[in-house]
Amino acid sequence: MTAWGVRFEDELRRLGVQPGRARQLADETAQQAAECDAAPDSLFGPAHLYARHLLSELTTRTLPLNGPSGPVRLRLTGVGKRYRRRTVFDGVDLTVRGGEVAAIVGANGCGKSTLLRICAGLTRPSSGRVQRTRRVGFVPQDAGTAGWLTADEHFTLFGAAAGMAPRRARSTGEHLAARLAWRPGRKQLTQHLSGGTRQKLNLVLGELHSPDLLLLDEPYQGFDQGTYLDFWHQVRAWREAGRAVVVVTHLLHDLQHVDQVFDLGALR
Amino acid sequence: MTALVVAALSAREVGRRRTALVLVISLPLWFYLVRRDLTGQSLRMLTLGIGWAVSTLTLFVVNASRGVDPRLRLSGASTAAVIGGRLLATTAGGVALAAAYWLLAAVDQGLDRPAAAALMMALTAAVAAPLGGLVAAVLPRELEGALALLSICAVQMLADPAGLVAKLMPFWSGREIGTYAVDATGPEYLWRGLAHGVLTWLICAGGTWSIFAWRLRLPRCPEP
């Protein structure tokens, strides 16, 4: 097998494809390249990006047309959170499947962000049970980035955390940024980015390691109209790729884009 | 691998904060210049200045990454890689700072035991990094952490070196090795200083790791 094929197979396995299936896909891809009498990298592009693309295409084709019925990616059973004597929420039951977008809505202070952090595992629930898939991407409402690093350096840092080589992490990050109509400046520090662009960086970092479950806390803060539409287009793409998406929102017109709505305020 | 990337990028972040960097680098110099007329005092003050500068730098580096570190853990990094990488960066910077000041002192003062003086400064820098990390772990806000480090360094500076209070302070090892380096005493000062430095490093590094391992822990959620 060529070096490209080895990288392609490795990336498929890193993305969670079973080794046997990854080998089969790598062989089929090599065969296609041979039939076209072309080198795989000139035909398909970088191996790690094509692996993501192929996986996304394959998952989309296995999803039924009438609603999501993928594997359960997140299940909350009777989850509650108390701070000392104050109960923030109690008895939350929520199930989100692959290929499904769920929105968490509610008034300010009802615990939407806390619930999302519980889903991520960053905050412990006071009661109840959380079951979720291992590969999770979390996009906080603010912070979560380092002001003195560039976007490329963030890709390197978060990629290293996920076991990706620096070059691969950077090219994947730039590829994902392009989907949000953003081309990161090589030398521009994050603290000099606009609020909306910093949120784009946040989104890319949440998706960089190709999670099965994306947890987004009002990720469109500071987006202009075009970027806001790009964002929901991206959410639809994730949904079609079989990923589960949970988005905290307070904008009611967002709800047309989602499969289920969980009103946290209604529990009170 | 992850720890090295974290270390390299932490160093790059600090390197971009030019004004802060100049202040950190120059801090030990003022300590040195105040007592330049006395070789022993100037070296001890210089060493304490290095300890203060490196511990404060670590405090700010660790505190500045509070928003990023939980996300790195979620992406798959271990606590040891994240915190170890940051301590590695400030330790390396601190040892480089110590080397530069050792060169200055060697040229300016003519040291009798230059290797021991180098050890005194490098050990203090190495202890200062996890000390700053431990203070950052215990006191998450920068002002409180900076004031705590100021208190530690002030007590270290003013306490009777033979008394118990000075021995309980983190930079006592530098003073002991300094006595060996400057006053031509027996090697027992060197060994006592080394033992104190190693023990302090273990306590500070272990304490930092333990607190962050608890704070950045991720629950084992079962697959649905």
- Residue B71 to residue A72, Cβ atoms within 8 A: no
The pLDDT tens digits for A219-239 are 888 888 888 888 888 898 889
State the pLDDT at residue A67: 56
Indicate which of B75, B78, B83, B212 best probes the interface with A, i.e. most A CBs within 10 Å of its own CB: B75
Q: Is residue B221 part of a domain?
A: no
Render A26-85 in DSSP notation, one character per residue: HHHHHHHHHHTTS-HHHHH-SHHHHHHHHHHHHHHHHS-SSS----EEEEEEEEEEEETT
B222 within some domain: no
Q: What is the pLDDT of residues B10-35, one digit of tens each?
A: 999 999 999 999 999 999 999 999 88
- What is the model's pLDDT at position A61? 47
CA distance A154 to B203: 32
Cα B118 vs. chain centroid, distance in angstroms? 15
Residues spanned by the domain of B103: 2-215
Share of chain B above pLDDT 90, in %: 81
Task: Name every chain A residue with its beta carbon within 8 A of the beta carbon of B69.
Answer: none
pLDDT of residue A217: 92
Q: Strand A213-217's sheet: what is its strand order?
A: A136-139, A213-217, A244-248, A101-105, A260-263
Question: Residue B204 has what pLDDT?
Answer: 97
Average pLDDT over residues B170-191: 91
ipTM surpassing 0.85: yes
Cβ–Cβ under 8 Å, residues B42 and B29 = no
The structural domains of chain A, with segments of one domain joined by +, span 3-62
Residues in chain B with CB shorter than 8 Å from the CB of A130 are 219, 221
Output the CA torsion sign for A154, A155, A159, A160.
negative
**Among candidates B47, B41, B28, B12, which has minimal Cα distance to B124?**
B47
Nearest CB partner across the interface for B74, out of A73, A136, A156: A136
C-alpha of A96 from chain center:
14
Please tell me the predicted confidence (pLDDT) of residue A268.
60
Percent of chain B whose predicted confidence (pLDDT) is above 70: 100
The pLDDT of residue B213 is above 60:
yes
Q: Which residue from A130, A132, A146 is facing B68, i.e. has the nearest CB?
A: A146
Query: DSSP 3-state assignment of A125?
Result: coil
Using one digit for the tens of pLDDT, what is the confidence trace for A118-175?
Answer: 999 999 999 999 999 989 999 998 778 999 999 999 999 999 999 999 999 999 999 9
pLDDT at position A143:
74
User: Which pLDDT tens digit goes with each residue over A191-213?
Assistant: 999 888 999 999 999 999 889 99
Q: Which residues pair with A75 in a beta bridge?
A: A95, A131
Q: Tens digit of pLDDT for each residue in A65-124?
A: 455 568 999 999 999 999 988 899 999 999 999 999 999 988 888 899 999 999 999 999
Please state the domain count of chain B. 1
Report yes or no: A101 and A234 within 8 Å, Cβ to Cβ: no
Mean pLDDT of B64-77: 92
Specify whether the CB–CB gap between A216 and A172 falls below 8 A: no
Mean pLDDT of B140-150: 93
* Interchain contact, A146 vs B5, CB within 8 Å: no
Residue B9: band (very low, low, confident or very high) from pLDDT cuts 50, 70, 90? very high
pLDDT band at B183 (very low <50, low <70, confident <90, very high): confident
- Give B 5-34 residues with CB within 8 A of chain A: 5-6, 9, 12-13, 16-17
Domain annotation covers residue B224: no
Average of per-residue pLDDT values in chain B: 93
Given this model, what pLDDT does residue A60 score? 53
Give the per-residue pLDDT at A65.
Answer: 45
The answer to whether the CB of A166 falls within 8 A of the CB of B5 is yes
